[in-house]
Amino acid sequence: MFVIWGWGKQTRKVVGKVGNRMCNYCNVESIWQLVIVRTWFTLFFIPIIPYAKSYQISCPNCKSFFALSKEQFESFRDQTTDAAGVPAMADAGKYQGKTETQVNYLKAMEEAERKE
Ligand SMILES: [Zn+2]
Tell me the Cα Rg of the chain. Answer: 19
The CA 77 to ligand 1 mean position distance, Å, reads: 21
The CA 57 to ligand 1 mean position distance, Å, reads: 11
The CA 111 to ligand 1 mean position distance, Å, reads: 45
Quote the CA–CA distance of 12 and 110 in Å, as a whole number.
32
The CA 24 to ligand 1 mean position distance, Å, reads: 7
Quote the CA–CA distance of 56 and 86 in Å, as a whole number.
18
Residue 17 near residue 81, CB atoms below 8 Å? yes
pLDDT tens for residues 16-39?
A: 988 899 999 999 999 999 999 999
Tell me which of 9-13, 71-75, 97-101, 108-112 is least confident.
97-101
Quote the CA–CA distance of 39 and 50 in Å, as a whole number.
6
The CA 105 to ligand 1 mean position distance, Å, reads: 49
For the whole model, what pTM was predicted? 0.60
